[in-house]
């Protein structure tokens, strides 16, 4: 019988009729294609993706040969809420009592954060099945909520999460992060060197095939200008640090040859419209479906993203937004203080200091001065590098080498 992998995570984005899936799906699907048996155990409380409607406490689903066990779990609508934490505990309770005898015995169990609480069930399952345990870090907690959520290191909840994080680092057989410099964080937390591997976000055939043009009236209304278009696409919220983008638009309001376009929706959109809606060089475009993002980005000249100045980024980043931007074959400028990433490796753009409006204005003018041909070449470098280095078939192969060291496939 083939080796069996359990991928256990509270938050999983499956393949559906309307979505090609997320990173977890692409990896387990490629592992299945490589001849491994894969079981995913997850919950239905992720309100950011399309999930099946569960009527039972446990629902089994077969998705292209990947067995998915869905656990019905408490829902929540606000990320920073008590219900979210209660939902974490509810998932652990259901996972603990899940009748696992119906599932193929695991050789490796991957516990993927969030939630950190799942490492407790992971350790129990590792002991029961005598399997290897891999701890996967997709978001560094509690560091993220301390740096960006306003929590104190002395907060009892934060201290509890920190204890769980260190437990996971100490007791796991392998540590895998989506961020390239996670090893530095692990070393800082434990005071010792431990092998840490990176399996970042990637690009799938679904990304390449799942592209639809935006409607003609949308393109005409929001994207038809002949000006030099600086585009940000994605959520408009507090974590996206978009003040610099809007302040740069205000600083360049007299430039009739540059236009700022923000595509998306979010909690702060109305506030930004109230503050900056009078700018003649700023366009607020409605959110588009996932399969139209590429056609929107391709109409820009320069793509922009930003993050807050935070210690989180000292350990690197692997953001879906960067994948989308590079896939669009457009140059990128980002307000980012942190560990280098694939934008540096590919040469498809530049980083400027976070929270620095003057630096963004200077970067836009510098990029514009290069001319369209040079910018096209720069953007093409990003797409080419991405397809060569970040395909999910390659990343899944790298992951399998970590899960089953010494195996010959």
CATH hierarchy code of domain 209-388 = 3.40.50.2000
Q: How far apart are CA 147 and CA 315, in angstroms?
A: 13
Task: Pinpoint the alpha helices (H) of 210-333.
Answer: 216-222, 243-251, 269-276, 293-297, 320-327
Evaluate whether 293 touches 233 at the Cβ level (below 8 Å): yes
Residue 79, pLDDT score: 78
Residue 290, pLDDT score: 85
Give the sign of the dihedral formed by CA 294, CA 48, CA 21, CA 333.
positive
Q: What are phi and psi of 395, to 5 degrees?
A: -65, -40
For the chain, percent of residues with pLDDT exceeding 90: 85
Residue 81, pLDDT score: 85
Give me the mean pLDDT over the 345-362 stretch. Answer: 96
CA-only gyration radius of the chain, Å: 22
Q: Does domain 4-202+391-403 correspond to CATH entry 3.40.50.2000? A: yes
Q: In 3-state terms, what secondary structure has residue 313?
A: helix
Would you state the structure tokens that stand for residue 121, as one six-digit string?
A: 């069930």
Could you tell me the end-to-end alpha-carbon distance of the chain, in angstroms, rounded to an integer? 15
For the chain, percent of residues with pLDDT exceeding 70: 99
Matching CATH topology for 4-202+391-403 and 209-388?
yes
Q: In 3-state terms, what secondary structure has residue 306?
A: strand
Q: Residue holding tokens 């980043």?
A: 317
Q: How far apart are CA 183 and CA 289, in angstroms?
A: 36
With a threshold of 0.85, does the pTM exceed it?
yes
Q: How far apart are CA 364 and CA 229, in angstroms?
A: 10
For residue range 90-134, list pLDDT tens digits in order.
999 999 999 999 999 999 999 999 899 999 999 999 999 999 999
Instruction: Please calculate the CA angle 204-303-145 and round it to the nearest 5 degrees.
Output: 75
For residue range 181-200, list pLDDT tens digits in order.
999 999 999 988 889 999 99
Q: What are phi and psi of 189, to 5 degrees?
A: -70, -40
Average pLDDT taken over every residue of the chain: 94
Residue 409, pLDDT score: 62
Q: What are phi and psi of 319, to 5 degrees?
A: -100, 140
For residue range 22-80, list pLDDT tens digits in order.
999 999 999 999 999 999 999 999 877 889 889 999 999 999 999 999 999 999 987 77
Would you state the structure tokens that stand for residue 216, as one six-digit string?
A: 């003609």
Residue 1, pLDDT score: 44
Residue 338, pLDDT score: 93
State the pairing for strand pair 66-71/58-63.
antiparallel
Could you tell me the residue ranges of all domains in the chain?
4-202+391-403, 209-388
What is the distance, to the nearest Å, from the Cα of residue 173 to the centroid of all Cα atoms in its chain? Answer: 24
Q: How far apart are CA 98 and CA 87, in angstroms?
A: 16
For residue 362, which of 272, 244, 280 has the smallest C-alpha distance?
244
């Amino acid at each position: 019988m083939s080796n069996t992998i359990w991928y256990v995570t509270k938050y999983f984005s499956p393949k559906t009729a309307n979505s090609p899936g997320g990173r977890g799906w692409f990896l387990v699907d490629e592992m299945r294609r490589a001849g491994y048996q894969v079981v995913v155990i997850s919950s239905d409380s992720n309100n950011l993706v399309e999930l099946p409607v569960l009527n039972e406490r446990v629902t089994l689903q077969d998705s292209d040969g990947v067995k998915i066990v869905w656990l019905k779990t408490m829902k929540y609508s606000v990320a920073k809420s008590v219900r979210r934490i209660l939902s974490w505990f509810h998932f652990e309770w259901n996972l603990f009592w899940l009748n696992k005898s119906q599932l193929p015995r695991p050789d490796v169990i991957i516990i993927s954060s969030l939630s950190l609480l799942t490492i407790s069930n992971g350790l129990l399952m590792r002991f029961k099945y005598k399997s290897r345990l891999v701890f996967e870090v997709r978001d560094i907690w509690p560091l993220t909520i301390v740096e960006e959520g306003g929590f104190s290191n002395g907060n009892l909840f934060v201290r509890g999460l920190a204890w769980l994080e260190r437990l996971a680092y100490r007791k796991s057989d392998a540590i895998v992060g989506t961020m390239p410099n996670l090893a530095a964080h692990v070393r800082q937390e434990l005071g010792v060197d431990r092998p840490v591997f990176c399996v970042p976000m990637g690009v799938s055939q679904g990304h390449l095939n799942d592209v639809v043009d935006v409607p003609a009236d949308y393109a005409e209304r929001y994207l038809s200008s002949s000006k030099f278009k600086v585009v940000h696409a994605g959520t408009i919220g507090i974590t996206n640090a978009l003040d610099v983008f809007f302040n740069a638009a205000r600083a360049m309001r007299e430039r009739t040859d540059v236009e700022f376009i923000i595509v998306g929706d979010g909690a702060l959109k109305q506030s930004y419209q109230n503050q900056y809606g009078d700018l003649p060089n700023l366009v607020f475009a409605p959110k588009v479906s996932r399969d139209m993002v590429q056609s929107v980005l391709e109409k820009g000249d320069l793509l922009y993203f930003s993050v807050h100045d935070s210690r989180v980024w000292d350990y690197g980043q692997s953001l879906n937004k960067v994948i989308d931007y590079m896939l669009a074959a457009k140059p990128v400028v980002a307000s980012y203080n942190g560990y280098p990433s694939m934008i540096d490796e590919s040469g498809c753009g530049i980083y400027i200091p976070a929270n620095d409006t003057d630096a963004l204005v200077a970067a836009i003018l510098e990029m514009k001065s290069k001319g369209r041909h040079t910018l096209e070449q720069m953007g093409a470098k990003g797409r080419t590098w991405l397809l060569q280095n970040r395909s999910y078939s390659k990343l899944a192969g790298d992951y399998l080498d970590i899960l089953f060291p010494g195996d010959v496939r």
